[in-house]
Structure formats: structure tokens, C-alpha cells
Structure 1
Amino acid sequence: MSSLTVRELSKETWGDFESVLGANGGARGCWCMHWRLSIKEWTEGKGEGNKKAMKRLAGREPVPGLVVYDQDAPVAWCSLGPRSSFPRLERSPLLSGVDDDEEVCAIACVYVEKKHRGSGLLPGILEAVCDWASSAGYTTAEGYPVEPREGKRAGADTAMTGIASAFLDAGFSEVARPRDDRPVMRRKV
């Protein structure tokens, strides 16, 4: 996994971001705006509107996310930043903050390009993302993965936040479990 690197989303990496998310912009025209907009705004912007909204964030502070590369090939996208960057996450009764005292780098979405899914890249992606978070001054990374029920596979819509076993493999620990299939996980970076 040492070949995985990350680059911040910017005008220069926008084409790679589009390549990873594909023509549909991830799941259902999301373009990784799910946690950033109200459900009404997200639904109205589905597709092109959400894409334009994310493009406006590219290259701004706080960084909206990272494109993940294997060698020079873009293989994944990670939406991250302070929890305050994700108003819908902040309002979520399911994923509301564990505590308000800890400033975390919220890993809101981990989207692996379709042809790379199931290849075991996710723990390495999380490692590379945590390395970036540390270099950006964060002390804690926090994720909101799903834990698929036994014998079930998570679809793109539900797996967008990552898979719990990959977070464990990347050194995260569970700090809360608001629902049986939704742990909140943290790692010091």
C-alpha cells in the first residue's frame, strides 16, 4: 500500500476526481455533496448542480477532500475536513458528534473507483488520508463507516462512508455505536 498517495482537490486534480466518481458523480449524482447540503438542496442539485457545487469548493480552504492515487492512477476519493464542513452530518441524529471538545478530521466519504472495489485498497487509502490529516494539523481522524450485516454486502449508497473492518485494519477504534450497523471510529494521527 506504500504506493498510495493523496492530492488535495483543486482545479489541477479535478479531472482525476471526475474519473474516480464516474459519469454519475458517485452514487446517484451526489458528487460528494450529501453531507454538505440539506436533503432538499442535494436533491434539487442531483447531478450537474451538485457537481458545480463541489467544483466551487475545489482548491478552497478547508480542503473539501483528497484524490487518492496508486502510482499515478487515481483510484479513490475521500471527502474530509472539520465536522463543521458537513452541516448535514452535524444535524444527523444518527451520527451527531461524540463530543464537542475534540476537533476531528471528519472522513465523511471514501469512494473507491468501481474497477478497484474489492481489491483491498481501503485500509491503505485510510492510512494515506490519516497521514495527510496529520500533516494538515489534525490530531484525530473520525469515520462513520457501515458494518454490513453478516452475509450481506454494502452497496455504493451505503458504503460511501467506508466499511468498518477497513477502518479497524487502518488502526481506528470504535468510540460509539449509534446503531448496530453504524460505528463511529477514531484514530489519533
Structure 2
Amino acid sequence: MARDDIDESPDAPATSHVIKPLDAETFAAWLALAQKHNGVWGGCYCSYFHGDTEHTVKREYDGPAFKQRLVAEGVAHAALVFDGDDAIAWCEYGSPAELPNIYHRKQYDAGETSLAPWRITCFFVDRDHRRSGVAREALDGALDLIAQAGGGEVVSFPNELAEGKRTSSSFLHNGTRAMFEKAGFTFERHIGKSKTVMRKTIAPAVA
């Protein structure tokens, strides 16, 4: 797969797509997108980065049920890109407490002097809508939702790849450095072999 299978268009295009938050009303559309792709990333159902909560232990539920319980508890956040009634992409975001299981966490924590209140951990784009800027729409949607929630620092861990390098889209589940730079994020450092730490401060939305 090419490196842009997940979405590498340089700018978010003008579309009729609508951004909605993941919640009880949109969960069915989110689930339909996940099930269309066999649970995405080997049946992950976008649950890898989550841990147990006070009320829910991950190992006691399958992927869809675990995610639905987190949504009901208000500890699973994502910006969903809708094309009509169908969700065609998402960008998962949340607090470090909601999304503790990042890759290279020890290395990240060792170099972190002030823990950002928000992190972005995962993208997914419907295979029928890839390479059209939809991942960037999801990213911008997540940042807008973070602004509505009060804003603050946002950190993410996109991959940095050599120009022309080809890789599986699952490897790019957190997007690329280039996409985040175009969205105004600043590169800080590398962690692991190819992941980066990038950061942006989001102002609170004006009421």
C-alpha cells in the first residue's frame, strides 16, 4: 500500500461532509464503518489505546461492546466525518487517562516535562474515500471539538517516513508528520524508530 492510503492530500478539501462527535447517537454509524472493515486494524475496533475504567474491564468485553461502554461512560472521544448518513472517517482523541496505551510510552514519558491534557492517537478512513483529504478533515474536526471542550495543548505521535517510502496503511494509523505540520503542529522529537512527538495549542472556542 502507498503511504497515502490513509490520506495524504496536502489540504483539507471543500466538501459537504459534516463533523459529528462520537456519542450515543453516532455510535451506530461509527460501528458500521468499523464492521465494514472487519473491525479495522485486525479487529481492534479502535480500542487499543484505551485502558480499563472504574466500571469497565477491557478483557471482559469484545471490541464493539467495550467501545460502546466507554462511549456511554463519556471516556471515548472521536471526530467522525459524515457523508450523508454514513461515517466515512474518524480521528480519535482524548485525555492521557482515557488513552494511556501509546506506543513507546516509556520513551515519551521520559522526555515529557508537562503532560498535555489532550492526545490524538488514531485515524481511520473508509477504503472508498482514501486519498481525498478526509483524514485531514477528521483531524481538523477533532481540534474543533477540543476547542469546544476548552482547548489546551494537544500532542500526537504521527509517523515520519522517507519520501516515496511505501508501507501498510495500518502502520499509519496515527497519520504522518507532514499532515500534522500542515495542520499547524510543531515537531518536537522522535520516539521509537519512526514516530514523532508533535504539539499544538488550541484556543478555547468563542461562545
- TM-score, normalised to structure 1, is 0.82
CA distance in 1, matches of 2:166, 2:73: 35
CA distance in 1, matches of 2:71, 2:28: 11
- 1:150 is aligned, of 121, 144, 163, to 163
Structure 1: 5+ residue runs without aligned partners?
none
1:88-107 matches, within 5 Å, as 88-89=101-102, 92-96=105-109, 98-107=111-120
Q: Percent identity?
A: 24
- Displacement over 4 Å in runs of 4+: none
- Please identify the structure whose Cα radius of gyration is greater: 2
Question: Cα RMSD between the aligned structures?
Answer: 2.7
Q: CA contact under 8 A between 1:127 and 1:170: conserved in structure 2?
A: yes
CA distance in 1, matches of 2:160, 2:20: 28
Return closer, same or farther for 1:161/1:97 CA change in 2, 3 Å cut-off. farther
Moved more, 68-77 or 139-148: 68-77
CA distance in 2, matches of 1:162, 1:50: 22
* Corresponding position of 1:52: 65
CA distance in 1, matches of 2:159, 2:22: 25
Return closer, same or farther for 1:52/1:75 CA change in 2, 3 Å cut-off. same
Task: Say if 2:46 is the partner of 1:32.
Answer: yes
Aligned residue type for 2:46 = C
Aligned residue type for 1:13 = T
1:73-152 matches, within 5 Å, as 73-89=86-102, 92-96=105-109, 98-152=111-165
- 1:174 deviation in Å? 0.7
CA distance in 2, matches of 1:57, 1:63: 5
Q: CA contact under 8 A between 2:93 and 2:118: conserved in structure 1?
A: yes
Higher relative contact order, structure no. (Cα contacts within 8 Å, ≥ 6 residues apart): 2
Q: CA contact under 8 A between 1:20 and 1:113: conserved in structure 2?
A: yes
CA distance in 2, matches of 1:187, 1:4: 24
